[in-house]
Chain A
Amino acid sequence: MDVLKRVPIKEQEPIERIHNFDEVCFGYTPDEAVREAQRCLECKNAPCVKGCPVEVKIPEFIKLIKEKKFKESYLKILETNLLPAICGRVCPQETQCEQNCVRGIKGEPIAIGKLERFVADWFRQNCEFEFSKPQPNKRKVAIIGSGPAGLSCASSLAKMGYNVTIFEAFHKLGGVLYYGIPEFRLPKEVVEWEIENLKKMGVEFRTNMIFGKTFDLEDLKQEGFDAVFISSGAGLPNFLNIEGELLNGIYSANEFLTRINLMKAYKFPEYDTPIKLGKKVGVIGGGNVAMDAARVARRLGSEVYILYRRTEAEMPARKEEILHAKEEGIKIIELVSPVKFIGDETGHVKALELVKMQLSQPDSSGRRSVKPIDGSNFVFEADNFIVAIGQSPNPLVKKAIPDLELNPNGSIKVDENLMTNIEGVFAGGDIVTGAATVILAMGMGKKAAQSIDRYLNAKKV
């Protein structure tokens, strides 16, 4: 065995997987996991841990895999990371833990994410989730939004004996984990299992509750909640604000993915929510959401092009997602920027005018800017376009709490303890950071739980 190389992981062949929504990666077998774990050098200073937003005890959980103590390994991760099966699948490890791996200097870094996923899946399939309830402390905390920040905050608080209720606007739990990330990257079964565990921990969930519409801060106060954590996400899709954006056949990535993931439109007419996609689809953007949208479109049978204003090297998407997309036959058109959509006589989009872009020399920060090349406009024909250029904070929260202080970009302003300008009201996740990663949101949820605990202890509620 070449210790410089990773133990290869089995995946569904591209030719097969473009016809289904099953998970792409099969995950390691116990034998493969142990072999991969054996490559770990167990560095004393553990640079990998420093790359992890929640400081998973990486060398320790990997050591337990070497010893085939998979259950213990899972529990070791759980000490700091509440959703290992999810993080093992969707974290950008290559820019976090794995980037710092000493093995990576000469060879391939340890597949930390895949090992994390392995123990989490092994535990789910072989063990019962056990939770010894702490002494209840009689304090009630309300969490708004059941995405990664909310779930991790709830879990931390439940462990400290809090009485926690999560309010979710949709009819399904999990926030972006449910409506945003497709089944082939994160099976809903995994999300549901994690949520079931939270229920076992005593966390209460209420669906169909829209903050600022169905209930507000005053209602929470009247119900006796001592603190509130707002983790309602970045739920407002950005559009390009160019001519023709209201033509039929143009989706925001949010709408496209919500129809698919939440409403299961890919199973129409077995499910009632429809989706319409023609032969050729253009996806605008270069992040993970753009990759998800492109790969979903591919699975619906379309020929898919990703249109990006910089080059593949600058794409914010995870390398693995870009690779998977390309393997599935998705083509990337680099250095193009949308100018206007062109419609047919029925009001349906038929093309997008693009302008070619050029990269400048790197500036002092090393970042290369782009600018349009005059007169290089051309027309790109397609049946549908999906706009995946990011999300902004949902405006409903601001409407619900008019006194809430916001940052200039509309996100909620918080102090170092994640408390907003309103006492007892904390916030975290994408509503504070703008659209970011699952793990960052989880890290904030955990931190908020600690802050809430400190705050309520000091207040002696």
Chain B
Amino acid sequence: MNEIVIKQNLAPNVWLMGIYSPQVAKKSNPGQFVILRVAENGERIPLTIADFDREKGVVYIIFQVVGKTTSLLSQLNIGDRIIDFVGPLGMPYEHNPEDKNYLFVAGGLGIPAIFSKVKMLHSQGKNIDIIIGGRSKENIFFEDELKKYCNNLYISTNDGSYGKKGFVTDILNELLESGKRYDEIFAVGPVPMMKAVVDITKKYQIKTLVSLNPIMVDGTGMCGGCRVKIGNEVKFACVDGPIFDGFEVDFDGLMKRNSYYQDLENISYREHKCKIGLGE
């Protein structure tokens, strides 16, 4: 159980891992996430389920090394076990079966997060366009995998080293201005990116879903740490989400809450890097 069966480097500091966990794989659906822990004194961190294979009992996760836990995780190899791997958590992605045309907008680690949803919609014969973006060419990954399941794949990089120079929202603007219309737009990525997407799609009144990744401890609705304002209501992203109507999300509040532990997380990561000889 919880054995790493696949490990691949996708981009600088970005890893794909396949974890053998038949019980999680069996119940997984697009849109859900897992919580894992890699050390006895470690944190519990949520990660999106990028894909799953129920027959093989494998759950795929993709993560970027941003702190101590993800750094420890990246040091594990095929054959190693993850001490705790819980899931699937959150509500699965739901869509209106009558909708035909979909647009996915993904930035950075949002790229793998759209994968299982795209795959599912493709199997139902939907029309799918995808915009992915990153800082630079090396931050773009999963391009070939996604291409298999969509009609058009658009790419932007901030420095212009690949695809169109600029942001995913520049491409989004162009598409919508040129008259392209979608029944649903799904945005995943950094909070400011999702906010920017929603600012545009609101003008066109196109239904827009976003997938949030706030601070969590248990992932079962028990701590309330992931509470986020959706319209006039307070929701727990772990049990009510992580997918919400983008027009209703209080992105500013979410950004503030997500930054709360940044200083302590930096301390933790810095100490860890010193210990393993990567000190700055």
* Also in contact, A237 and B89, with CB within 8 A (given A171-B84, A246-B234, A263-B44): no
Chain B residues within 8 Å of A346, by CB: 256
Interface flag for A128 (CB, 8 Å): no
- Considering the complex, give the chain A residue whose CB is closest to the CB of B253: A246
User: Could you tell me the distance between the alpha carbons of A436 and B68 in the complex, rounded to whole angstroms?
Assistant: 38
Across the interface, do A246 and B227 meet the contact criterion of CB distance under 8 Å? yes
Does B75 sit within 8 A of A, measured CB to CB? no
Question: Within 8 Å of chain A (Cβ to Cβ): is B120?
Answer: no
Residues of B within 8 Å of A235, CB to CB, are 220-222
Is the beta-carbon distance between A274 and B224 smaller than 8 angstroms?
Answer: no
Residues of B within 8 A of A274 (CB): 261, 264-265, 268
Mark out the residues of chain B between 183 and 239 whose CB falls within 8 Å of any chain A CB in the assembled complex.
217-218, 220-225, 227-229, 234, 239
Nearest Cβ distance between residue B126 and chain A, in whole angstroms?
27
In the bound complex, what is the Cα–Cα distance between A267 and B87 (angstroms)?
A: 27
* Total contacting residues, chain A, CB less than 8 A: 42
Name the A residues within 8 Å of B261 (CB-CB): 274, 276
* Chain A residue with Cβ nearest B84: A171
Bound Cα distance from A271 to B272, whole angstroms: 11
Q: Which residues of A contact B136 (CB under 8 A)?
A: none
Q: Is B257 an interface residue, CB under 8 A from the partner?
A: yes
A169–B260 contact, CB under 8 A? no
In the complex, chain A residues 262-277 whose Cβ is within 8 Å of any chain B Cβ: 262-264, 267-274, 276
Q: Is A215 an interface residue (CB 8 A)?
A: yes
Q: Contact check, B257 vs A248: say whether CB atoms are below 8 A apart.
A: yes
Interface size on B, residues (CB 8 A): 42
Check if B86 sits within 8 Å of A272, measured CB to CB. Answer: no
A255-B217 contact in complex given A213-B87, A237-B223, A246-B253, C-beta closer than 8 Å: yes
Query: By CB atoms of chain A within 10 A, which of B24, B27, B39, B234 has the most?
Result: B27
**B101 interfacial contact with A, CB 8 Å:** no
Establish whether residues B221 and A272, one from each chain, have CB atoms under 8 Å apart when the complex forms: no
Chain B interface mostly: mixed
Q: Does A369 have its Cβ within 8 Å of any Cβ on chain B? A: no
Contact partners of B217 in chain A: CB under 8 A: 255, 258-259, 262-263, 273
For residue A407, CB closer than 8 A to chain B, the reply is no
Known contacts A236-B221, A276-B260: A271-B27 contact under CB 8 Å: no
What is the minimal beta-carbon distance from A80 to any residue of chain B, in angstroms? 31
Least CB distance from A344 to B in Å reads 11
Is A207 at the interface (CB under 8 A from chain B)? yes
Quick check: B265 and A246 within 8 Å, CB to CB? no
Q: Kindly state whether residue A93 has any CB partner on chain B within 8 Å.
A: no
The 9 closest A-B CB pairs, nearest first, are A347-B256, A255-B223, A274-B264, A272-B43, A235-B222, A252-B224, A208-B86, A171-B84, A271-B41
Enumerate 10 A-B pairs (CB-CB under 8 Å) in ascending A order. A171-B84, A207-B84, A241-B234, A248-B256, A255-B224, A258-B218, A258-B222, A346-B256, A347-B256, A396-B220
Q: Which A residues are closer than 8 A to B by beta carbons?
A: 169-171, 207-210, 213-215, 235-237, 239, 241, 245-246, 248-249, 251-252, 254-255, 258-259, 262-264, 267-274, 276, 346-347, 394-396
Q: Give 18 new A-B contacts, CB below 8 A, not counting A214-B23, A246-B228.
A: A208-B85, A213-B88, A214-B24, A214-B86, A214-B88, A245-B234, A248-B256, A252-B223, A252-B224, A255-B224, A258-B223, A268-B264, A269-B267, A272-B42, A272-B43, A273-B43, A273-B44, A276-B260
B interface residues with partner A (beta carbon < 8 Å):
23-24, 27, 37, 39, 41-44, 68-69, 83-89, 217-218, 220-225, 227-229, 234, 239, 250, 253, 256-257, 260-261, 264-265, 267-268, 271
